[in-house]
Chain A
Amino acid sequence: MKPLIIEETSSTPNIFLDIENNNFELSNRSLPEDAIGFYEPVMKWLEEYVKKPRKETEFNFKLEYFNTASSRQIIQLIIILSKIKKPNNLKINWYYREVDEDMESTGIEYSELIGVKFNFICIP
């Protein structure tokens, strides 16, 4: 599968999905006017990927901010990822700024809701 790379704009995140280098990342901020439309190709790509994933998948969520419309898309994205089952490994890294306790608790909440373990990384 070809990597999916979408460069960030002032309202959409940076998306980097590259199987070959085990580099899966969603970063910066997400507040598009049309969240469903924006995330559609990302979902499609991931749906395809989880059918035949790498042995190890490490996915980084490095979001500084996302709006509620994006949150529903992000949750769906994690649900797709959670289809990766043993013997393949999935590791989700949830980054948050030290000052942003809300981003941390959002991660905890999502992890509990979907039933997938997150690895929390604090950016000082």
Chain B
Amino acid sequence: MDINSRIKYINGLYEQFLDIQEEGLEYVYRGDFSVNTIGKIMSLAETNLNQAEDTLKIKSKIYYIMGEGLQNIARHHIGEVEVKPVNNSIFSIYKKKYKYFISTGNLIENNNIESLTEKLEKINGMGKVELRKYARQIRMTGEFSEKGGAGLGLIEMAKRSGNKLTYDFNKIDDKYAYFYLNTEIPTIKPESIKESNFIYSLDNIKDIHEELISKNILLFFKGALNQEILLDLLSIVEAQMDISIISIRMYNIMVEMLQNIVKHADNRAGYLKWKPGIFFISEEPNEVILTSGNYIQNSNVEELKEKIDSVNNANETELSKKYHKVLMNFKSESPLKTGLGIIDIRRKSANKIEYNFQPIDEKISFFIIQVGIKKNKKV
């Protein structure tokens, strides 16, 4: 994917972003789903969830269903080495019209499709009382499948959500398929608001997933960002990082990009505790590419543009000079004004910084910044 198509892609993302803004929650994650990482993804999602204004009862229900979904991804991957399926999974929480939608997508073997379909159909054919009975029965008889689950996770998801599970399979080849699963959880809606018949289509997650795979996006995050969430994200990335100078640079640049959002992005809807943001890592043959997107006040656009341009146009000596000047200028206390992060990103990546400002209205633009880290850079 070249730079232009990446910019185009992320521009498309910001439009979906606007769509969910009114109710303020979407969290999509693609990356490692090993057992070690799951705890971190949970805590990341939990921090995201804490930003939402729902009752504790609903949140704990969501947290539970989320855990089951994630465990399904991790558990059913063990032992499949051939296609690195762990990295190909996707997890998302989406909130719209007073409903939560938790979706997962993961790789399974084709020969499991039939039994999985049977299980799901059986569960979907049951009412609340029957589900409870069924769960008890399975627990008692210890009827476990070889993968360690008896569909108990699925039963609990259906039981707790009070809704049918929607699912789909997408065959990749004659051995593997993607299994998509979606659970809908209603929340308490103000009486003044009409019941919505909004239905989350599984196509949403299928489309996002396909995009991420085709664009070789290794880690994808879209959701609420604050310092706490940033640290969660960092520990997820760290868990799957090798110890090399490329990884160290990636980590460095990632912190600068995300802290820029946490500190300086516009929060648009006026939330105090977090900023909406997008961040992803993609890989090309010679580069690792980091991209982030956030809202910015139009009044800040020109200054930022000039700052990036001047950093981009500077040669190595000029860059060092700039860096030293800002580093040693202790009078300017506001890091926003210094642009030290941008200079540092440029120096560490040894690449020009790509950016784009997409105007949204007279007050706000969507700012995209992208940096490629050369895999073979020699200092």
Binding site for B on A (CB under 8 A): 10-11, 31, 33, 35-36, 65, 67-69, 71-72, 75-76, 97, 99-103, 105, 109, 113
In angstroms, how far is the closest chain A Cβ from the Cβ of B290?
A: 15
The CA of A102 and the CA of B243, in the complex, are separated in Å by 13
Q: A11-B231, A76-B330, A102-B348 are in contact. Are A68 and B256 (CB under 8 A)?
A: yes
Q: A100-B245, A102-B252 are in contact. Are A33 and B227 (CB under 8 A)?
A: yes
The CA of A68 and the CA of B259, in the complex, are separated in Å by 10
Partner of A68, one of B227, B243, B320, B344: B344
Write 19 A-B pairs (CB below 8 A) sorted by A numbering: A10-B235, A33-B259, A33-B262, A65-B252, A67-B341, A68-B344, A69-B259, A71-B340, A71-B344, A72-B330, A72-B338, A75-B327, A75-B328, A76-B330, A99-B245, A100-B248, A102-B249, A105-B379, A109-B324
Partner of A31, one of B245, B248, B255, B335: B255
**B255: A residues at CB distance < 8 A:** 31, 65, 67
Whether B245 contacts A102 by the Cβ 8 Å rule is: yes
Whether B335 contacts A69 by the Cβ 8 Å rule is: yes
The CA of A105 and the CA of B245, in the complex, are separated in Å by 13
5 A-B pairs with the lowest CB-CB distances in the bound complex, closest first: A68-B340, A33-B227, A68-B344, A68-B341, A10-B231
In angstroms, how far is the closest chain B Cβ from the Cβ of A40?
A: 12
**B302: A residues at CB distance < 8 A:** none
Binding site for A on B (CB under 8 A): 227, 231, 235, 243-245, 248-249, 251-252, 255-256, 259, 262-263, 320, 324, 327-328, 330, 333, 335, 338, 340-341, 344, 348, 379
Whether A101 contacts B328 by the Cβ 8 Å rule is: no
A72-B327, A100-B245 given; name 8 further pairs at CB < 8 Å. Answer: A10-B231, A10-B235, A65-B248, A68-B344, A72-B338, A99-B244, A100-B248, A109-B320
Closest to A33 in B: B227
**B262: A residues at CB distance < 8 A:** 33
**B340: A residues at CB distance < 8 A:** 68-69, 71-72
The CA of A113 and the CA of B330, in the complex, are separated in Å by 14
The CA of A35 and the CA of B341, in the complex, are separated in Å by 13
Whether A11 contacts B227 by the Cβ 8 Å rule is: yes
In angstroms, how far is the closest chain B Cβ from the Cβ of A50?
A: 17
Closest to B340 in A: A68
**A67: B residues at CB distance < 8 A:** 252, 255-256, 259, 341
Partner of B263, one of A33, A65, A75: A33
The CA of A53 and the CA of B253, in the complex, are separated in Å by 37
The CA of A102 and the CA of B250, in the complex, are separated in Å by 12
The CA of A48 and the CA of B227, in the complex, are separated in Å by 32
The CA of A75 and the CA of B324, in the complex, are separated in Å by 11
**B335: A residues at CB distance < 8 A:** 35, 68-69
In angstroms, how far is the closest chain B Cβ from the Cβ of A36?
A: 7
The CA of A69 and the CA of B333, in the complex, are separated in Å by 10
The CA of A109 and the CA of B320, in the complex, are separated in Å by 9
**A75: B residues at CB distance < 8 A:** 327-328
In angstroms, how far is the closest chain A Cβ from the Cβ of B254?
A: 10
Q: Which of A69, A103, A113 has the most CB of B within 10 A?
A: A69
Q: A10-B235, A100-B245, A102-B245 are in contact. Are A65 and B330 (CB under 8 A)?
A: no
Whether B327 contacts A113 by the Cβ 8 Å rule is: yes
Whether B328 contacts A113 by the Cβ 8 Å rule is: yes
Whether B328 contacts A102 by the Cβ 8 Å rule is: no
The CA of A69 and the CA of B327, in the complex, are separated in Å by 9
**B328: A residues at CB distance < 8 A:** 75, 113
Partner of B248, one of A11, A72, A102, A113: A102
**B249: A residues at CB distance < 8 A:** 102
The CA of A101 and the CA of B198, in the complex, are separated in Å by 53
Whether B259 contacts A31 by the Cβ 8 Å rule is: yes
In angstroms, how far is the closest chain B Cβ from the Cβ of A11?
A: 6
**A113: B residues at CB distance < 8 A:** 324, 327-328
Q: Which of B249, B327, B328, B335 has the most CB of A within 10 A?
A: B327
**A31: B residues at CB distance < 8 A:** 255, 259
Closest to B342 in A: A68
**B341: A residues at CB distance < 8 A:** 67-69
The CA of A75 and the CA of B323, in the complex, are separated in Å by 13
The CA of A67 and the CA of B338, in the complex, are separated in Å by 14
**B256: A residues at CB distance < 8 A:** 67-68
In angstroms, how far is the closest chain A Cβ from the Cβ of B251?
A: 7
In angstroms, how far is the closest chain A Cβ from the Cβ of B330?
A: 6
